[in-house]
Amino acid sequence: MLNDAANLETILNAFTEMVASKVAARLAGGGREGGKMAKRLLTVEEAATYLGRTKEAVQHLLAAGKLPVVKSDRRVFLDVRDLDVWIEQNKLQ
């Protein structure tokens, strides 16, 4: 019984990692997916989802100057490439 639970957990963990990887790849994009161009510029809300943070946490990063922004009139966007750089810079070795 315990072995079955461990096997199920292993399978669920593998499945979860696979789904997360596919979602991250689609969000990162850069190429065509399903006939559509992947978005390079994200809203604050989309960037929060991409980073796995709250909207407020991303707004604090912006206010602190830790993430560059792309402004169009009053609208604020974040470049997916800048988010990827921030992720790499904040990885612990």
- List the pLDDT tens digit at each of the 93 positions of the chain: 668 777 888 888 777 777 777 777 776 665 555 667 789 999 999 999 999 999 999 999 999 999 999 999 999 999 999 999 999 999 988
> What are φ and ψ of residue 63, in 5° steps?
-65, -35
At residue 71, the 3 state secondary structure works out as strand
C-alpha span between 14 and 20 (Å, rounded): 10
End-to-end CA distance of the chain: 38
Give me the helix-helix angle, 44-51 and 55-63, nearest 10°.
110
Helix residue ranges per DSSP H, 1-93: 2-28, 44-51, 55-63, 80-89
Res 34: pLDDT:
60
∠ Cα 70 50 64 (to 5°): 50
